[in-house]
Structure 1
Amino acid sequence: MTDPNAVDADGAGDRGGDGADAPNDTELPREVADEVERLTRLERTAVDENEIEAYESRRDELLDEHDFTSRIRDDDGDDVLILHPEEWHEDGVIRTDRIDDIDRAVEIPLEGAENPDDWETVDEHNRDLVAAVRADHGDVHGDNAAMLADFAGNHYAKPMDALTGDELAEFRTEYVVRNAWPSEKQQNVLSESIELVFETATEAVPKRQF
């Protein structure tokens, strides 16, 4: 007889939070969720088995540090990364009677119209741009550039120097405020850091940022 409190782990994602755009006030920090998403995307596009294993291993290590686990759920052909507490599991299934707060779970769409097929290429471009900003302008601006790269890659799957004014406004007023926790030094030079990212990429800064 089927246990009414047990559901398949891959089907429990609809019990999660509001997705990657919602702040996660649980024990899984947003920067960890962002990195887990990045590693998952890299793992999905990698060809070399050693690379795939390395991405999987690093992802599992990050989640283990917070007693979380990950699953991929198929939503009508679109894959969604589900992150939820390990304590909800027993023998590979979710125990609904153990779910104390559905908002502890995180849902991150991995596919969609806004995600390019060459996500890995986009991420490499953003990381190279971060490295250039860091090398030319120091760690504070480099850390801000890395923060922008996480936002651009994980939320819009696009080069950060291609972000629109509205997207930069979202980054500054929502993502940074609720999800990124920059240092005071980073906050003080954030506008300059954004300008340096576009300057380094030889692109014009979009006008609207607020």
Structure 2
Amino acid sequence: MTDLPREVVDAAERLTRLARRAVDDAEAAAYERDRDERLDEYGFTARIRESDDTLVLHPAEWLDGDTARMDRIEDTDRAVEVPLSGSGDPEEWDDVETHNAEVVAQVAERTGEIHAANARAFADFMGNHYARRVETATAAELEEFLTEYYPRNAWPSEEERDAVTQSLEHVFAVTETALPEFTAARR
């Protein structure tokens, strides 16, 4: 389990995206400085893994200068990975986020906070990883969400974990879309 609170991870992602959209280098540097200062409070640092365009947040103690030292890494679950890929069009990403936030609000209104929290985690996954609306998820993406993203990035309560599959059903019901069949161990 990571040492970073979810709100710090969310802020780091938001500031990284703002830095990418910045119109000049000074603005981008200011966003990155803000992100780095927030992470530093928890002893973490950020880097972009270029091979798959992922923001990686990990303990600064893993580094010797700019090089990760494998002998210093005891528990890789302390790191957080936030995919940044998508269409690359900031306006499209904003449209996707607006749509997905509306779906989350509808889930909250119909079913309550536990399902809303899971819907928000799924919206973050689909928006940030694929820059797509929640109802466009494939079976493989649902499996990836449940087995990879959710346990490592959502920090669910026991109640949220127990309800996550039903929460996905609510997301698809709100969007009036059929839920794809998937084979991941349902929680």
Quote the offset at 1:197 in angstroms.
Answer: 0.8
Structure 2 residue runs of 5 or longer lacking an equivalent are: none
- Structure 1 residue corresponding to 2:13, chosen from 30, 37, 46: 37
How many percent of aligned residue pairs carry the same amino acid? Answer: 49
Q: Go from structure 1 to structure 2 and tell me whether the alpha carbon gap of 1:72 and 1:135 turns closer, same or farther (over 3 Å shift).
A: same
Quote the residue 1:68 is aligned against: 44
- Structure 1 residue corresponding to 2:114, chosen from 116, 133, 140: 140
Q: Which amino acid is 1:45 matched to?
A: R
Q: Go from structure 1 to structure 2 and tell me whether the alpha carbon gap of 1:195 and 1:32 turns closer, same or farther (over 3 Å shift).
A: same
Quote the residue 2:137 is aligned against: 163
Count of residue pairs the alignment pairs up: 177
TM (normalized to structure 2)?
Answer: 0.67
Distance 1:97 1:175 in 2: 25
- Structure 2 residue corresponding to 1:101, chosen from 64, 73, 90: 73
Q: Go from structure 1 to structure 2 and tell me whether the alpha carbon gap of 1:29 and 1:74 turns closer, same or farther (over 3 Å shift).
A: same
Quote the residue 1:11 is aligned against: none
Distance 2:151 2:124 in 1: 14
- Structure 1 residue corresponding to 2:35, chosen from 55, 59, 67: 59
Q: Which amino acid is 1:205 matched to?
A: L
Quote the residue 2:175 is aligned against: 201
Distance 1:119 1:71 in 2: 21
Give per-residue Cα distances to partners, 1:61-119, cap 9 Å, x unaligned.
541332223345766xx8654534445779xx5377897239576665644xxx11222
Q: Does the 8 Å CA contact 1:45/1:120 hold for their aligned counterparts?
A: no
Quote the offset at 1:139 in angstroms.
Answer: 0.5
Which structure's CA Rg is the greater one? 1
Q: Go from structure 1 to structure 2 and tell me whether the alpha carbon gap of 1:198 and 1:96 turns closer, same or farther (over 3 Å shift).
A: closer
Quote the offset at 1:150 in angstroms.
Answer: 2.1
Q: Higher relative CO (CA 8 A, sep ≥ 6), structure 1 or 2?
A: 1
Quote the offset at 1:43 in angstroms.
Answer: 4.1
Distance 1:54 1:128 in 2: 31
Distance 2:165 2:100 in 1: 18
Q: Does the 8 Å CA contact 1:41/1:120 hold for their aligned counterparts?
A: no
Q: Go from structure 1 to structure 2 and tell me whether the alpha carbon gap of 1:130 and 1:107 turns closer, same or farther (over 3 Å shift).
A: closer
Q: Go from structure 1 to structure 2 and tell me whether the alpha carbon gap of 1:52 and 1:94 turns closer, same or farther (over 3 Å shift).
A: closer
Q: Does the 8 Å CA contact 2:96/2:132 hold for their aligned counterparts?
A: yes
Q: Which amino acid is 2:73 matched to?
A: D
Quote the offset at 1:168 in angstroms.
Answer: 0.9
Give per-residue Cα distances to partners, 1:135-191, cap 9 Å, x unaligned.
232101101101111222233232221101121122223333444342222233222
Quote the residue 1:192 is aligned against: 166
CA-atom RMSD, angstroms?
3.9
Question: Does the residue aligned with 2:72 lie in a helix, a strand or coil?
Answer: coil
